[in-house]
Amino acid sequence: MIAILSSGCTLKEKTDVVRLLEILGHRVSVSPFGRETIVGVVGTSAPELEARLAAMPGVRETRRDVPPYALVSREHHPETTVVRAAGVEIGGDEVVVIAGPCSVESEAQILRIARGVAACGARLLRGGAFKPRTSPYGFQGLGEEALDLLERAREETGLGIVTEVVSGEDVPRVARTADVLQVGARNMQNFRLLEACGRQGKPVLLKRSHMGTIDELLLAAEYVVTHGNPRVILCERGIRTFETATRNTLDVSAVPVLKERTHLPVIVDPSHAAGRREWVPALAAAAVAAGADGSIVEVHDRPDEALSDGRQSLTLQGFEAMMRRLQRVAAAVDRRLGVSFAPSGGPTCPTASPRPT
Amino acid sequence: MIAILSSGCTLKEKTDVVRLLEILGHRVSVSPFGRETIVGVVGTSAPELEARLAAMPGVRETRRDVPPYALVSREHHPETTVVRAAGVEIGGDEVVVIAGPCSVESEAQILRIARGVAACGARLLRGGAFKPRTSPYGFQGLGEEALDLLERAREETGLGIVTEVVSGEDVPRVARTADVLQVGARNMQNFRLLEACGRQGKPVLLKRSHMGTIDELLLAAEYVVTHGNPRVILCERGIRTFETATRNTLDVSAVPVLKERTHLPVIVDPSHAAGRREWVPALAAAAVAAGADGSIVEVHDRPDEALSDGRQSLTLQGFEAMMRRLQRVAAAVDRRLGVSFAPSGGPTCPTASPRPT
Amino acid sequence: MIAILSSGCTLKEKTDVVRLLEILGHRVSVSPFGRETIVGVVGTSAPELEARLAAMPGVRETRRDVPPYALVSREHHPETTVVRAAGVEIGGDEVVVIAGPCSVESEAQILRIARGVAACGARLLRGGAFKPRTSPYGFQGLGEEALDLLERAREETGLGIVTEVVSGEDVPRVARTADVLQVGARNMQNFRLLEACGRQGKPVLLKRSHMGTIDELLLAAEYVVTHGNPRVILCERGIRTFETATRNTLDVSAVPVLKERTHLPVIVDPSHAAGRREWVPALAAAAVAAGADGSIVEVHDRPDEALSDGRQSLTLQGFEAMMRRLQRVAAAVDRRLGVSFAPSGGPTCPTASPRPT
Amino acid sequence: MIAILSSGCTLKEKTDVVRLLEILGHRVSVSPFGRETIVGVVGTSAPELEARLAAMPGVRETRRDVPPYALVSREHHPETTVVRAAGVEIGGDEVVVIAGPCSVESEAQILRIARGVAACGARLLRGGAFKPRTSPYGFQGLGEEALDLLERAREETGLGIVTEVVSGEDVPRVARTADVLQVGARNMQNFRLLEACGRQGKPVLLKRSHMGTIDELLLAAEYVVTHGNPRVILCERGIRTFETATRNTLDVSAVPVLKERTHLPVIVDPSHAAGRREWVPALAAAAVAAGADGSIVEVHDRPDEALSDGRQSLTLQGFEAMMRRLQRVAAAVDRRLGVSFAPSGGPTCPTASPRPT
C-alpha cells in the first residue's frame, strides 16, 4: 500500500504518518515523488489501515493496489525525464553516444582512445575499472588505479566518465570519480548495490540483465529511486536466448516498450548484444530508429590486443563510420547527434574541446 | 560431399556422374548453381569416392566438408540476389513493404484494405487464405474462396499477392494465384512443404520459425533451392524468449548476420514480433536502419473487428504514418521506398495504379 | 463456442444442429466425446446463437467460453486414458519402454537391435523410415524399404512398431505398417499432418516441439482428437533453452503438469533431450520417478557407426543397465516394467516372445 | 596460465614464484589445491613465461590452457567431496533434505515449522532472514531478528541452519548463526559476495542462477574455492525458459552433467522450480532418481498466510508424503534418507531429537 503526501504537507504531518505505521509494526519506505512524498507500507493491503491513513492530515491519496513500479512509471509522470551528466543531457533531443574501451588498461591506452572517440563525437567516456568476470582467472580490471587514469582522460578531453561499480561498499569511492555510475547486467538484481546507488546523487546507468524481463528492469530502477536518487538511465544490452550466432539477442522492442512504460531515458549497448564488431553499427542504427536516447559502445584503438572484449570493440575508424551513419538516422527520426560530419571530410564536434565537468 | 560440375559439362557427363553414384548406392541431389551444377552425395565423405568423382569428365571441383548451406551461402555468391515478383524487385535499392490483413475475411474487406495500402505505397498485398492456427477451434481462413478474392484485389489495385501455403499438396493451387508463396514460421522445418515449394517457380517468402536459429533458417532455404527454386526471400519475425511484454522478441541482429552469411534478400515482420500495433512502426524502422530489404506488416481498416491478429494490425492511418517514417529512415541508409510523401500532404505513389502481373 | 449433444441424441437432431449452423454461415467441427458429441462453432461467441442452440433437441449443454482443449482436458474426463498398441497398454500400471535405432539402416541392423532390446524388456520397437533432417544433405531415411524391414523385425520379435510420419500424404502408407504413428517435434504444429493422423485409427505418439509450450502440445493433441482419433500418447523430449551442455533441456516438470491437465498418457524421450548417452539413464529414471507412463530411447548395437544420432544412442549393454535401474525406480512409485531382472543374472521377459499384433 | 606447486614446496619457493610474477607485472591468485598450491597468472599464456616458471624449484607442473574451473573440476579430483554441516554429510550415501519456510516470520512460526519438518526427517532447517525481492515494496525479511529466531529453532530441534546472505558485508554476521550460508540465484555472479564467502569457513550452498549456464555455476563455485573455502554445495533450482506453466523449468539434466564435471555435491530446489506445491514431490523424486545428493524445499504450516512464496510451500502433511516417496526412490538408487517410515504409521527419525551443533 502507498500513501501520497501532498506537496504542502508539514514535517510533523509526515512524521506522524510514519510513526503511526511503525507503531503498528509496519516496514515503511519514504520517497520523494516530484514535490510530493510517497510513503510505502510493505506487505499489507488491509482496508482498515488504508482508511486510517486516508483520514490523516497531509495525506492526499492512498492506493492499496500499488502499481509495481510507482515512481518510474510514466502513468503518473507523463513527460520524459532528462538526466544531466557532465554537461550532457540524456533523454532530450540529442542522441548521446558513450564510447570507450571495455577496460582501462594503461594511461596511454585510455588517453589515446578518449581523444579518438571525443574527436568523433562521443559525449561521455566509458571504461571499466572494476570488471565483474565470469571466471576468477579473468582480468578483473585495474581498480582504483583505473579511476585515476579516467580522471586524467576527463581532464584532457572534457568527456564525462561512465564506469561500473560492482559492490555497495565501492559506491562512495567510484562516485568520487564517475559522472555516471554503471550497474552491470549481472548486478541488475543486486539489491544492496541498487540501494547504495540510490543513496548518492550521481546518475545511474542501469543495464538490463541478460535474462531479466523489462518489468524486472523497471523494478530494479524503482529500487534506486525509492532510495532517493531519481537520476536513472536504462540500458538494453541483449538478452540470453537459444540463438548463438550473436553473443546475446538485442531486444530492440524493449526501446518502444520502455518508452511507453517509463519516463526514464533509454539507451542501448549494441556491443555486448552483438559480440562482434561487424554487426555493431547496424544495431546502433536500429536502436536510434526505434527511438533510443543513445548508445554505449566499446571502442579500442588496438582491439586485437585488448585484455577483454576485443572481438566486439570497434576500431576508431569503425567508430567514425558508425557515427556518420547514426547522424543520418537520428535526423530521420527528428533527433540529432552531438557532432556534425560534413558529407565528405571530418567531423565538426562542438563537444570535442575540453569542458568543465 | 558435393561435386560441382562445370558450366560446360555435357548432359552425358552429368548423367554418368549421377549414375555412378546411384550404382554405388548413394542418394543424390542435383541442383543448379549459377551456370554450374551441384551434385550432392548424402551421408558420406569417403576419400576414395571423392577421388573417383574428381577424376570424372565435367567435374570441376569436389568438396568433402560441404558447407552446411552451400547454395544460399554468400561465400560462393558474393552479390546479393534480387528476387522479382509482380514487377517488384526485392533485394535491390528499394525497401519493399508488403501489407494487408492477417486473413482475407470478405470481398469488401480485402478490397478496402488493398486500395488503402496501395495508396500509401505498399508494393505487394498480403492476405491469408489458409491459416495455421494453434487451436483447432480458431478461424482457419476462407481457403480457396480467399484466393479468388485476392485475385480480384490484384486486378483492381495492381498489387501482387503474397499468401501462405501450409501443405505440399496445396502448392499447385496456391501457386496459381500467388505471386509469392509464403511459408509460415511453424512450417519452416516442414521439409515436404519446402521441397514442394522448390519444385515450382514462384518466389518463396520463408519465415524464420519462432524457435529456429539463423542457421536453421538458412538450411531451410537450402531445401527450397536444392529442389530447383533459387527465388527465396528470408523473413525474420521474432523468436520465442522468456520476455512476455512482446508477443515474440524481434531478433533485429538477424538482419546483419543474414546479410553477411547469405546472398538472399532479407525482410522483417514487425507485426508478429510486437503483437501490438503501437510498437510496429518503431520495429519496422529499426529493421530498415539495420539493413533489411523490406517489411511485411498487418493492416486492417477495422482492426477491432478482425477475425485474427487485430491487436497487432495497423489501421490505415497508422500505416500511412509508418510509411512516412520509413521513407526518411530508408533515405538515411541510402535506400528508398516505392512511394514519396510530400512533407505535408498525401503520397505520390508511382505504383498505386494497376499494373499487369 | 461448443454444444455438447447428449448420448441419446438422434441422427436427425445432430444434423439439424449442424445444418442450422452452416446455414448461418458458421464453420463447424463435429467430434465424438465419449458417448456424446461435441459440435464446435468456430470464431463466434454470440449469446443469441448460444441461446438458440441450447433450445434445440438433443443439445445437453452449451459453453461459450470453450476451454482451449476441451477433449483432451482432464476436467471433463477424470480417469487416465489407456492407449493400447500391439498388445501393450500405455497409461496403465506398466511403465512402457520403446527402444530402437534412430534410423533403420539395413535388415541386419534392425533385426540385431530389435532382438537385443526385446531381450531386455523393450515393449515396442522404434525405428525411423522417413527422417526429417535440418540439412537437405543429411541422411533422410530409407523410406518405404525401411517400413518393410520394420515388418520383418516385428514378425521375428513380436514387438509392435513405432515409426515417424512426416506428411499427411504418407499417413495411409505408414499406418499400414506402424502400430503407433509418431509425429516428430518439428511437426507438432503441422496441422494438416495432425488432421490426417486424426482421420485414421492407429495410436499417435505426439512429441512436444522443442519450443512448444505445454498448452500448445495439448492443443496439437486436440487437433488429432477433434478429427476422430482419441488414441494419442504425449511425449516430452526436451525444449530449447540457453543451456548448451545438453542438446535440449528435458522439462521433467511437464510430466506432473500434463498429468494434471490431461487424461492422455505421457512418456518421455531422454535421448533427444540429453544428446549424449551417458546422461540418458538418469533422465529416464527421473521421468519415471516424476510419474511418466514410459520412455522412448534410442539404442544402437554399434552407435559409433550409426548414420544419425549415434552420440545419444545407448549400446545394448547400456540399455540393459538402464532397464535394471528403471525396474527399481518404477517399483518405488508403485509401477512396474514389462520385464523382471533377477538381482544378479539376466532378465525374465514375459514379453520377449513373438506376439500377434 | 597456472603453476601447480608440489605439496613439499617450501614457503620460500612459493614466495619466489609469486614475487617473480609480480615483478613481471602479472596479477596472481594463490589457492590451496588439496595439499598442493595453485598459482594462477591472470591474462597471459606466453610460452616463455611458462618455460621460466616450469624451471623454478617447487613447481611440479605448469599449464597454459587452464581448464576454466580447475579446482572444482572432477578431472583432478575424481572422488566426490562430502561437505559436513551441523553433523550432516552432504554428498555421501544419505539423500539430505533441507526444509523450512521461505521467510522467518515470527518465533512461533519458525518453531512450529522446525519441529514439524524435523519430525518428518528433514536434516537441516532453511529460513530466510534477508530476502532479496524483485520489488522494493515486497517483504524483505526480518533481518538480524530472524537470525536470533533461527538460533532458537536450532536449540530446540537440533537442526542445523541454512540461511541466505545477500551482501559481502553481511557475511560475518550471518556466518555467526548459519551452519550453511546460502547464496541465492540472483547473486550467483555477485563476485564480491562469492569472494567473501570464500574467505570464511562455513559451507556455502550456491544456487544456480535462473539465467546461468552449468559452466557459469561451476565458475562461480571456483570463485569461492579460490578464495579459500572448498566446502561448496551446488543447487539446481530451475532456469528461465519460454514455458510459463511452471515458475521456472527444473533442469534435471544438470544433475548428471554436474556429477560428471565436478566433485562437489549437488542438490535440487524443486519449490522454486515448480512454483506450485502440487508439483514439488514429483520434481524432488525426479532429482533423487537422477542422482541428486539432496533437496531443499519450502514448507509452511499455514501456506496461505505466508508472507512470501506460499503458493509453492508444502504443508507439513504434504512434506511427510513427499518424504515417504523420497525414501522409496532413494532406496531404488542405492541411497537412503535420514529417516525411516514404517509402511503404515509414523516416521522413525534418528535425527528428530535435539543434537548439539
Contact D137 A191 (CB under 8 A): no
Distance CA D66, CA B4 (A): 43
Contact B136 C168 (CB under 8 A): no
DSSP bridge pairs for B207? B235
Cα gap A116→A98, rounded to integer Å: 13
What is the percentage of chain B residues whose pLDDT exceeds 70? 92
A214 pLDDT higher than 70 = yes
| C240 shares contact with chain A (CB less than 8 Å) | yes
Residue A51 forms contact with B (CB below 8 Å): no
d(CA D255, CA D214): 10
Residues in A closer than 8 angstroms to D219, CB to CB, are 134-136
Model confidence at A116: pLDDT above 90: yes
The C-alpha cell of D20 is what? 617473480
pLDDT confidence band for D350 (50 / 70 / 90)? very low
C340 touches chain D (CB under 8 A): no
Question: With 70 as the cut, is the pLDDT of residue B137 above it?
Answer: no
Q: Does the distance separating the beta carbons of B139 and C27 come in below 8 Å? A: yes
Question: Helix, strand or coil for residue D86?
Answer: coil
pLDDT at residue B9 is higher than 60: yes
Is D240 in the B-facing interface, judged by CB distances under 8 Å?
A: yes
Check if the beta carbon of residue C268 is closer than 8 Å to that of residue C238.
no
Mean of the per-residue pLDDT values of chain D = 89
What residues 114-143 of chain B have any CB closer than 8 A to a CB of chain C? 132-140
**Which residues of chain D lie closer than 8 angstroms to B240, CB-CB?**
242
Between D177 and D48, where is the model more confident? D177
Choose among A139, A186, A216: nearest Cβ to D134.
A216
Please name the member of B244, B257, B279 whose beta carbon is closest to the beta carbon of A256.
Answer: B279
Interface test with D, best of C252, C277, C295 (most D CBs within 10 A): C252
Q: Do D331 and C333 touch (CB under 8 A)?
A: no
Asked whether the beta carbons of residue D241 and residue B242 sit closer than 8 angstroms, the reply is: yes
| A241 in B contact zone (CB under 8 Å) | yes
Low-confidence residues of chain C, pLDDT below 70?
27, 32-34, 42-45, 65-67, 137-138, 343-357
Q: What is the pLDDT of residues B206-231, one digit of tens each?
A: 999 999 999 999 999 999 998 889 99
Among the residue ranges A176-185, C51-60, D110-119, the one predicted with the least confidence is: C51-60
Report pLDDT digits (tens) over D99-113: 999 999 999 999 999
For every residue of B89-118, DSSP letters joined together read EESSSEEEEEEE-SB---HHHHHHHHHHHH
The beta-carbon neighbor of C187 closest among B29, B134, B190 is B190
Q: Is the pTM here over 0.80, yes or no?
A: yes
Which of A130, A133, A191, A214 would you mutate first to test chain D, the one with the most D CBs within 10 A? Answer: A191
The verdict on A245 touching C (C-beta cutoff 8 Å) is no
pLDDT value of position D63? 80
Give tens-digit pLDDT for A312-325: 999 999 999 999 99
Within 8 A by CB and 6+ apart from C310, the residues are C102, C300, C303, C304
Maximal CA-CA distance, chain B: 70
Of the ranges A256-260, B167-171, B196-200, D23-27, which one carries the lowest mean pLDDT score? D23-27
Residue type, B39: V
Q: What is the pLDDT of residue D351?
A: 42
Angle at C316 between CA C315 and CA C320, to 5 degrees: 115
Q: D241 to chain B nearest CA, in Å?
A: 5
**CA atoms within 13 Å, Cβ hemisphere of B324:** 15
Task: Flag whether pLDDT at A68 surpasses 80.
Answer: no
- DSSP summary character for residue B234: E
Contacts of B219 in chain C (CB under 8 A): 134-136
Residue written as grid cell 537437405: C136
Mean pLDDT of chain A: 90
* Gap between the Cα atoms of C285 and C280, Å rounded: 9
Contacts of B187 in chain C (CB under 8 A): 190
Q: Which chains touch C (3 or more CB pairs under 8 A)?
A: A, B, D
- The burial of A205, by beta-carbon neighbours within 10 Å (0-12 exposed, 13-18 middle, 19 or more buried), is given as buried
Please give the pLDDT value at position B39.
84
Distance from CA of A186 to the nearest CA of C (A): 16
Considering only the beta carbons, identify the residue of D242, D245, D253 that sits closest to C283. Answer: D253
- Cβ distance D40 to D31 under 8 Å? yes
Residue B70: helix, strand or coil by DSSP?
coil
Instruction: Tell me how far CA of residue B306 lies from CA of B134, B299, C65, D120, in angstroms.
Output: 17, 10, 19, 58
Question: Residue D220 — pLDDT band, cuts 50, 70, 90?
Answer: very high
pLDDT band at A29 (very low <50, low <70, confident <90, very high): confident
Higher pLDDT, D159 or A225: D159
Q: How many CB pairs under 8 A join A and D?
A: 90
Supply the ipTM of this predicted assembly.
Answer: 0.86
C248 CB neighbours in chain B (<8 A) are none
CA of D107 vs chain C CAs: smallest distance (Å): 34
Task: Give Cα separations from A69 to A214, A263, B140, B350 (angstroms).
Answer: 12, 12, 40, 49
B25 pLDDT higher than 80: no
Cell digits for B275? 503483437
Nearest 5°: phi and psi at C209? -60, 150
Lowest mean pLDDT among B62-71, C256-265, D260-269, D288-297: B62-71
- A223 reaches D (C-beta below 8 A): yes
Chain D CB within 8 Å of residue B240 CB: yes
Please give the residue of chain A at the shortest CA–CA distance from C248: A242
- The 10 Å Cβ neighbour count of residue B145 is 13
Give B133 or C318, the one with higher predicted confidence.
C318
Contact A140 D192 (CB under 8 A): no
**SS3 state at D128:** strand
Contacts of D139 in chain A (CB under 8 A): 27, 42-43
DSSP C312: G
Cell 519438518, located at residue: D117
